[in-house]
Every structure is written in structure tokens, then in C-alpha cells.
């Protein structure tokens, strides 16, 4: 679920950080940039793990900050395809269900309808999916229930700064008009499946 990834970065350390030791100041700047951010085609950065190389800082004319070439390792949330994870169902609709991991560490997990068990159907009035095992046995996927699923695919979307601005503008429009706009696609999402024994609600198999 987690990996260590080596990254090279030119770090700008502003003058108000000069009283700190170089390693602390550089780590602070790196965490500000990367922690809890999606790194395209890599995953969700949790935090800086350690510093491998820190060059001497260089000054630029007209800028009081120092610029330092750094090689560091970051702790990345990146489940591998085929990995089995456990989370909680947060939303169900006709397209499938949304899942979040413990502590809402990562919420952009979606299990599409075509990746559920055979004979599953959606109940709009109850906002729940049902697995009809046979005529007499029906199991429900209810919101806030713990679910076990298999990672099938990672999806990365390049979110441009203009797209972020547009998303923020849509949120403002929502407040003013009361109309619900379509949410922006997340920069990093996981598609899961529940199609084999042991998958689905944890309580079914206890």
C-alpha cells in the first residue's frame, strides 16, 4: 500500500527559515509542497521520509532566499493492482459505490457496478446495492459498512491550475445559486472490484 520513492528537487528556502538547521528548513519546504498532495503518475504523498543528498545553497540576484538541490525519499500511498484493501462504504448510486479508507486517509475509491458480484442490483429508495446469491439469500451493501475489495486500476488525471480555479468558481456559484454542480474529477483515484470469495462486506465472511 505504501512505497518509498526517490525524488530530486530544487528547494527554495526563504530568509525566515535561515535560523533553522538546513535539514529542518529543507524538509519543511518539501512537506509544504508535497505532503498530502498527489504526485502525477506516482501516487499520494504522505510525507517526506528522509533526505539522501543536500547540496550547498545558492543565491540568486534579487532574491534573498537560497536554492538547494536535494535528493529525498517520500512516503507514497500507492496500492498495487491486485492488492486487497479494506475500507468503508460512503456512498451508493446506480453507477456503483464510493469507498474511503480508515480515518478518511484516501476517499477517491470507486467500485463500478460492473465490478460487483453477478446478480447485484441497486435499490434507489434505500441507496444500497444488493447481492442476490439465490432466491432466498440477499446480502446488502449498506453505507458505513466495512468492505473488502481488490484494486483493479489506478486513474491519474492532469488537473491544470485553471481547472482548479474553475472548480473553486463552481463552488462559489453553488453557494450563490444553490444549484449543485458536477464535482471535479480527482487527480488520483482507484477502481476496485468485488467479484471473488472473501470480497464484499467483511461481516459476511466472519
The pLDDT, as a whole number, for residue 171 is: 52
Say if residues 163 and 184 touch (Cβ distance below 8 Å): yes
- Integer Cα distance of 178 and 201 in angstroms: 36
Give the pLDDT of residue 112: 96
Distance CA 195, CA 96 (A): 13
Strand duo 188-193 + 109-112: pairing: parallel
Report d(CA 25, CA 39) in Å as an integer.
21
What is the Cα–Cα distance from 80 to 203, expressed in whole angstroms? 25
Quote the pTM value. Answer: 0.80
What are the structural domains of the chain?
2-77 (3.30.1490.120), 84-205 (2.40.50.140)
SS3 content of the chain, % helix, strand, coil (to 5): 20, 45, 35
Three-class secondary structure of residue 167 per DSSP = helix
Whether 90 and 102 have beta carbons less than 8 Å apart is answered as: no
Report the sign of the C-alpha dihedral through residues 79, 82, 85, 90, in that order: positive
List per-residue pLDDT tens for the chain, 206 residues long.
899 999 999 999 999 888 889 999 999 999 999 999 999 999 999 999 999 999 988 888 888 899 999 999 999 999 999 999 999 999 999 999 999 998 778 999 999 999 999 999 999 998 899 999 887 889 999 999 999 999 999 999 887 765 455 555 555 555 555 555 566 788 999 999 999 889 999 999 88
Amino acid at each position: 500500500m505504501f512505497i518509498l520513492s526517490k525524488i530530486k528537487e530544487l528547494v527554495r528556502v526563504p530568509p525566515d527559515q535561515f535560523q533553522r538547521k538546513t535539514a529542518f528548513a529543507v524538509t519543511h519546504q518539501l512537506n509544504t509542497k508535497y505532503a498530502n498532495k498527489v504526485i502525477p503518475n506516482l501516487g499520494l504523498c504522505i510525507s517526506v521520509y528522509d533526505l539522501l543528498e543536500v547540496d550547498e545553497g545558492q543565491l540568486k540576484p534579487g532574491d534573498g532566499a537560497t536554492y538547494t538541490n536535494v535528493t529525498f525519499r517520500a512516503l507514497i500511498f500507492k496500492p498495487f493492482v491486485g492488492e486487497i484493501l479494506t475500507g468503508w462504504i460512503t456512498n451508493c448510486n446506480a453507477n456503483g459505490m464510493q469507498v474511503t479508507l480508515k480515518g478518511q486517509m484516501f476517499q477517491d475509491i470507486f467500485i463500478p457496478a460492473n465490478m460487483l458480484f453477478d446478480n447485484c442490483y441497486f435499490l434507489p429508495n434505500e441507496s444500497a446495492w444488493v447481492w442476490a446469491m439465490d432466491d432466498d439469500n440477499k446480502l446488502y451493501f449498506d453505507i458505513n459498512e466495512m468492505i473488502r475489495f481488490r484494486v483493479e486500476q489506478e486513474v491519474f488525471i492532469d488537473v491544470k491550475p485553471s481547472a482548479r480555479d474553475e472548480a473553486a468558481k463552481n463552488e462559489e456559484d453553488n453557494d450563490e445559486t444553490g444549484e449543485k454542480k458536477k464535482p471535479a474529477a480527482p487527480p488520483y483515484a482507484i477502481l476496485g472490484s468485488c467479484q471473488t470469495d472473501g470480497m464484499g462486506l467483511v461481516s459476511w465472511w466472519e
